[in-house]
Amino acid sequence: MFPDVEGKGDGKVLERRRFEKSFVEVERILDQNRVLINEINQNQESRMPDNLGRNVGLIRELNNNITKVVHLYSLLSSYCCSNPNSNSR
């Protein structure tokens, strides 16, 4: 997506690294969200007051993670849109 075959344009290399780092971070957060959702579901099914109370914090964490993913997707989109040759790998 952002290769620089001749080694020119260090900015593109940095941009690619930022893109890759953001993409890895999105994957990490989405994996964490899967774990949170499973725990929330288990707590809900148990119907135990302590577990249901714990869900409040878990849902807040999930919501914060979703906000982070939206921000990271916005960055990823800007990386792609700012590079007119982004379709060629």
pLDDT in tens, the chain (89 residues): 444 444 556 778 888 888 899 999 999 999 999 999 999 999 999 999 999 999 999 999 999 999 999 999 998 888 777 665 544 44
Going from the C-alpha of 51 to that of each of 37, 42, 61, 70, 84, the distances in angstroms are 13, 9, 15, 28, 50
Confidence at residue 78, expressed as pLDDT on a 0 to 100 scale: 84
As a whole number of angstroms, the distance between CA 47 and CA 54 comes to 11
Confidence at residue 9, expressed as pLDDT on a 0 to 100 scale: 60
Confidence at residue 14, expressed as pLDDT on a 0 to 100 scale: 85
Confidence at residue 85, expressed as pLDDT on a 0 to 100 scale: 55
As a whole number of angstroms, the distance between CA 75 and CA 71 comes to 6
Distance of CA 3 to the CA centre of its chain: 23
